[in-house]
Chains A and B, each alone.
Chain A
Amino acid sequence: MTKSNRSKGIDYWLPKLVLSPTIAITTVFIYGFIFLTAALSVTDEPLMTIFSLTNPNIDFTFDFVGLDHYVKLFENDRWNGALLNLGIFGVLFIGICMIVGLIFAILLDQNIRAEGALRTIYLYPMALSFIVTGTVWKWILNPTVGIEKFMQDIGFTSFTFDWIVDPQMAIYTVVIAGIWQSSGFVMAIFLAGLRGIDTSIIKAAQLDGASLFSVYTRIIIPSMRPVFFSAFVMLAHIAIKSFDLIMALTGGGPGNATDVPAIFMYQFSFTRSQYDMGATSAMIMLMGVAAILIPYLYSELRGEKQ
């Protein structure tokens, strides 16, 4: 009896002990830093403040300025352009990746002969760093050396594909490269979802005379709701953090035509010594993430209680 009690004691504390490093990490390195960033976004000279934390030569300063930096941020043309670009990129990137991923998952699910090989081919771009993806797509899309010149040289003299140098269209080249990189991964997630479905329901439906199309649209796809959510969250995460890809592909150009919030934040914080704008834009990005994530987490946690 006493032994059982003691082991219960250990088993009561042990899980908490095991989780405690992660709890500590999360508290300091995620929420602590978010709090710090929030504080910096409302102080007059955030860079001074942050350096004063480690450099004894600087007196600690914290002059509260309220939402001044936020007002200034939204008066900045570049920031507003960056938000718009993220909107265009995010919607197209997530939307097309989901559609392409789903279609190829369904196609691959039709007892395809070389499924393993094809799946690997679709999936491998995910293994490349965005730096590599950006660099190679930059060469392909460049009109003076890439696909446009290639097509013209083999005889299609009127062929043009110069989106990457066209400020109006450049953002769509980022979408193309992004889809190339990530759609295979979405396909893998959907394929996994399809394989996880209870086949007896499908067989029953088919016995009832349902066509393949309606089996997919009526039964399979609706039952994959959680998979859609997983894919959506992964893609949203890639889209909002999109940085490496754009830096390598267009550097945010032509002009600032493919600027996005992550690049804006990086440049203003580190090259332009405007840490106020950097911290403020970080907070806006976090709020954007929260707006997407809270409904997801809510449904996730609620779903489990049911």
Chain B
Amino acid sequence: MSIKVQDTRYKDITARSILYAVLVIAAIYYLAPLFLMIITSFRSMDEIRVGQLIEWPKSFSLDAWAAAWNQVQIGAREELGLKPYFINSIKMVIPSVAISTLLGALNGYVLSFWKFRGSEIFFALLLAGCFLPFQAILLPHSIVLGKLQLTGTVSGLVMTHVIYGVAFTTLFFRNYYVNLPGELIKAAKLDGAGFWMIFYRIILPLSTPIIVVSVIWQFTQIWNDFLFGVVFSDPDSQPVTVGLNNMVNSTTGEKRYNVDMAGAIIAALPTVIVYVVAGKYFVRGLTAGSVKG
């Protein structure tokens, strides 16, 4: 818990106001780009053309949003706008997050309570894998996807994200579990509870905070990924980041700042909502042990 500040100086109103001023100014810095994106997305192109980029809208219009969602022609596609890409992203992100989180929980469980010879070394090697520059593995990974008949499919993307996300989820769960009291498990083992029983009855019910962390992390990473999304997809599975990139590059003559901004917000909306809604649990989950060591 936070430190109860008894120090008299901090009761001082001036110091307190300075503190708030600093925090609010910082908040403005963090919010400014989002604010700019939002107001621009409501302006019309005529208004932007004569005015300037940073300006309060004279009239609010949702045209740019509608255009970005399902009216803009991207390449020579049948379907217009970001909508099909957005749906692809949803199809990709849900199984990827679910599988990688489950796998991470199981791995963390084994690496914390069922250690065997070499499991520590394996954990270190797995962790090192987080740092692989992904540009380097694109071609070898393509070969494997090809052999598995998964080239350009949503399943292929899910597999890719699970493979390269499991190191992170394992790290989260393992660091969380090692801080749980080991006696609990020992007692359960003595009572004859087996591997799965302990996992379901004891570990899983205690895991909510770290599941939240893992889900938020994976959701953000996978939703926002561009590199895997562009290289391992085909027209029927391209995720929204690729759609946004195509859309921003689909201009004629002038940049349609309003449409681009609306598109950028649409592409970012799910992750921002997740952060706003579950942000509280995120910090709580981190506190619960995932950042220790």
Contacts and interface: CB of A to CB of B under 8 A. Distances in A.
Is any CB of A less than 8 Å from a CB of B in the complex? yes
Contact of B248 (A116, A135, A289): A135
Interface string B31-57: 111101100000000000000111000
Interface stretch (B65-73, B80-88, B125-133, B200-208): B125-133
Given A124-B275, A286-B133, A25 B166 contact: yes
Interface string A133-151: 1011101100001110110
A53 B226 CA distance: 27
A194 B192 CA distance: 39
Nearest to B225: A129
B122 interface: yes
B268 A15 contact: no
Contacts of A50: 139-140, 143
Contact of B107 (A22, A29, A104, A227): A22
A74 B293 CA distance: 36
Contact of A36 (B114, B140, B170, B248): B140
A111 B194 contact: no
**Interface residues of A: mostly helix, strand, loop or mixed?**
helix
Interface stretch (A63-71, A88-96, A236-244): A236-244
B164 A29 contact: yes
Contact of A128 (B126, B192, B224, B289): B224
A118 B27 contact: yes
A202 B5 CA distance: 11
Task: Give the interface size bracket for B toward A.
Answer: 35 or more
A241 B34 CA distance: 25
Central interface residue in B30, B178, B224, by most chain A CB within 10 Å = B30
A282 B248 contact: no
B132 A126 contact: no
Interface string B6-41: 110110000000011011001101111110110000
A11 B3 CA distance: 44
A286 to B, nearest CB: 7
B192 A7 contact: yes
A110 B134 contact: no
Contacts of A196: 287, 289, 291-292
A243 B138 CA distance: 14
A282 B289 contact: no
B36 A136 contact: yes
A127 B5 contact: no
A21 B140 CA distance: 19
Interface of A: 4, 7, 10-11, 14-16, 18-19, 21-23, 25-26, 28-34, 36-37, 50, 53-54, 104, 107-112, 116, 118-133, 135-137, 139-140, 145-147, 149-150, 153, 180, 184, 188-189, 191-196, 199, 202, 206, 211-212, 215, 226-227, 229-231, 237, 240-241, 243-244, 261-262, 265-266, 269-270, 275, 278-279, 282, 285-286, 289-290, 293, 297, 300-301, 303-304
* Smallest CB-CB A-B distances: 3 pairs: A129-B224, A282-B136, A192-B286
16 contacts: A10-B195, A15-B110, A50-B139, A120-B275, A123-B279, A124-B272, A127-B271, A127-B274, A130-B226, A149-B52, A180-B33, A189-B286, A192-B283, A241-B134, A269-B138, A304-B178
